[in-house]
């Protein structure tokens, strides 16, 4: 532009530039504005979905926390679980609902349903702690179903350090069921040491260790 000598030449240059670039410039502005609007709309949608999931989960908690669940309330609670997984699958609320669903199934005597709920959560969730918590609960059900070897395999897959004490205690139970008393004794001792180091209460494990006649049972 500095080389143009007259106002007319400058004006003509501007006109030519606008003719060549004006359409793409306007299109860029429109696209940018649409992108901002779309992002805001998506944020609003996400916020509404999160609020809806939270409300459903609170309703589920309210039902599941009752001291006793009548058939109607139990059915309603499990319907909330289904709705959370269908409408908000992959969210933290849906994962937590699956854990509650397994507990409700146990309360209803549906052990197979409880195992299915936990297995599905293990396969579906990307949240490591919840995956391992589901594994821990599944191992308990497997042990209760006289599947001690399967329970040990399930426990081997747990990585979360926060669950170490419970994992080791349950490993001791499985090994004791299999008649592996020395291994069970070691597992109980390690579970108690881990619980003490982390400040976690571990009920009943000391008694199990005492019943094995372990030396230095009190750690």
∠ at Cα 93 (88, 95), nearest 5°? 90
pLDDT value at residue 76: 85
- Range scoring the smallest mean pLDDT among 12-26, 49-63, 68-82, 98-112: 12-26
* CA 218 to chain CA centroid, nearest Å: 36
pLDDT value at residue 108: 86
pTM above 0.85, yes or no: no
- Range scoring the smallest mean pLDDT among 30-44, 53-67, 120-134: 30-44
pLDDT value at residue 4: 44
Question: Which three-class secondary structure state does DSSP give residue 96?
Answer: helix
C-alpha closest to that of 165 among 122, 206, 127, 217: 206
The residue ranking higher by pLDDT, 76 or 69, is: 76
Rounded mean pLDDT of 13-42?
A: 59
Instruction: Give the pair of three-digit tokens for residue 185.
Output: 């004794």
Q: What is the DSSP letter of 202?
A: -
pLDDT band of 204, cuts 50, 70, 90 = very high
Q: Which of 35-49, 157-171, 192-206 has the highest mean pLDDT?
A: 157-171
Instruction: Give the pair of three-digit tokens for residue 87.
Output: 């409408």
Instruction: Give the pair of three-digit tokens for residue 22.
Output: 């004006």
Average pLDDT, the chain: 82
pLDDT value at residue 124: 92
63 pLDDT above the threshold of 50? yes
Rounded mean pLDDT of 22-28?
A: 61
Query: Could you read off the pLDDT of 104-161 as tens digits, one per residue?
Result: 999 888 999 999 999 999 999 999 999 999 999 999 999 999 999 999 999 999 999 9
């Amino acid at each position: 532009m500095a080389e143009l000598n007259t106002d007319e030449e400058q004006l003509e240059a501007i006109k030519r530039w606008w003719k060549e670039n004006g359409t793409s410039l306007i299109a860029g502005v429109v696209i940018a504005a649409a992108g901002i609007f779309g992002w805001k709309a998506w944020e609003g949608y996400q916020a509404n979905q999160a609020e809806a999931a939270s409300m459903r989960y609170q309703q589920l908690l309210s039902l599941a926390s009752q001291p006793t669940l009548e058939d109607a309330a139990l059915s309603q609670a499990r319907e909330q679980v289904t709705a959370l997984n269908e409408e908000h699958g992959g969210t933290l609320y849906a994962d937590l609902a699956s854990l509650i669903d397994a507990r409700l199934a146990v309360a209803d005597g549906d052990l197979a349903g409880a195992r299915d709920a936990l297995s599905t959560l293990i396969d579906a969730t990307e949240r490591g702690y919840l995956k391992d918590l589901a594994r821990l609960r599944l191992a308990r059900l497997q042990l209760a179903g006289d599947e001690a070897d399967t329970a040990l395999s399930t426990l081997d897959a747990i990585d979360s350090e926060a669950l170490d004490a419970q994992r080791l205690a349950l490993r001791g139970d499985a090994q004791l069921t299999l008649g592996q008393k020395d291994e069970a004794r070691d597992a109980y001792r390690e579970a108690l040491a881990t619980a003490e180091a982390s400040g976690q209460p571990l009920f009943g494990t000391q008694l199990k260790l005492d019943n094995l006649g372990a030396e230095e049972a009190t750690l």
